[in-house]
Amino acid sequence: MKEMVLSVFLTAVMASSMLTVPVGICRAKNVRGQTPLRYFMQAEGAVTSRTPYGNNPACGKYVQTGDAKIYYEAYAPVHKDTLYAPVFIFHGGGVGTPYEMGRLIDAIRRDHQVVVVSTRGHGRSEIGHTPLTYEQKADDMIAVMRAVTDRPAVLVGFSDGAYAAYKVAAMYPEAVERVAAIGAGTLEKGFFSGELKVSDLEKIDKAFVEQQKMLMPEPERWQKFCTDYMDFWSGMEVGKELFSAIRCPVLLIAGDEDDHAPIVTMTAAHQMIPNSRLCIVPKAWHTAFLDNFEVTWAAVDAFIHADPASLQPAKKVEYNNLVIGSVLSGS
């Protein structure tokens, strides 16, 4: 079972002022002469973004946080007179990249300032030398957020990035207006285990691995980071302590075929978060935004544009708790 989970992990998780454009915010799209980016195991003919999110120097900046420089790109909204809150994008871990979420970012950029973050150890961001923790991830993210805006922001996270968004919302509630979390439910220690080898990734998608090595400031440390990352993940436990501390509105999204964040774990998280709502995307795996973009975007679009006063929590069905407890206990 653990080998199967790792195999699946390798094939996906390895997926200010309102009316003026602030300094450092750009409108650049595709970069002429630059080799197009790809995300891990990108299918031939896949619909992707023209903007090289995660490798767009015209829009890129760094912020020092702890012992690492974190890379981010800030984009102005297409509609210049927008009044909506800025949106920060936190991608998935392992072989996750900002570009993987490109279509979603393009859609959000229509009327939001969007800030795309490459998380520690991914893409152009440094690894640092301190042990990985979600407190560290939250501190990295809040450093980027404070460098860009002093307004409460919308956080859109996928998988590892969604857990980071949860932690930011819990630790820095004044900085977060709402969270959209894709593929991140309750988590028990040991759910993710095994090894993550760069050599294995290269056999699966050599072009992607070569691309990422070109982006990384320390590609020679990639395997060590992958090893430390899997050790970190195998010891992760996420439950009521974190979820009950989140006070902002949260939209939970999961594919109905997701075995990284199975529906039962997403429902459990939904039951624990005080102000939450849950969307199950049909015919979609962990990367719901790739497998069924239309349904995923419809849910995200409605949520991020909703009037704050309308974001009342969905009713918690007590029977769900009984079933969840039975399933998770194996009885």
The predicted-structure confidence for 202-247, as pLDDT tens digits, reads as follows: 999 999 999 999 999 999 999 999 999 999 999 999 999 999 999 9
Provide the pLDDT confidence category of residue 27 given band limits of 50, 70 and 90. low
Task: Please report the pLDDT score of residue 29 as a whole number.
Answer: 56
Q: Which two tokens stand for residue 37?
A: 């980016």
Q: What is the DSSP letter of 99?
A: G
Tokens of 281: 């995307």
Please tell me the predicted confidence (pLDDT) of residue 63: 98
pLDDT score of 256: 98
Number of domains in the chain: 1
Q: What's the rounded Cα separation, in Å, for the pair 272 and 240? A: 6
Query: Which range of residues forms the domain containing residue 237?
Result: 2-329
The number of residues making up the chain comes to: 331
Map residue 64 onto helix, strand or coil.
strand
Give the domain CATH number at 217: 3.40.50.1820
Partnered with residue 26 across adjacent β-strands are: 75
Phi, psi of 272 (to 5 degrees): -90, -25
Phi, psi for 231 (deg, rounded to 5) = -60, -40
Question: Is residue 303 helix, strand or coil?
Answer: helix
Does 30 score more than 90 pLDDT? no
**Cα(188)–Cα(267) distance, rounded to whole angstroms?**
15
The pLDDT score that the predictor gives to residue 91 is 98
Say what the pLDDT of residue 2 is. Answer: 39
> Could you count the other beta carbons within 10 Å of the beta carbon of residue 100?
28
Mean pLDDT of 27-33: 57
- Answer for the pair 93, 159: CB distance below 8 angstroms, yes or no: yes
pTM for the model: 0.90
pLDDT, tens digit, 9 for 90 and up, residues 153-178 = 999 999 999 999 999 999 999 999 99
Burial class (CB in 10 A: 0-12, 13-18, 19+), 264: middle
pLDDT of 21 strictly over 60: no
What pLDDT does residue 82 have?
76
To the nearest whole number, what is the mean pLDDT of the chain? Answer: 90
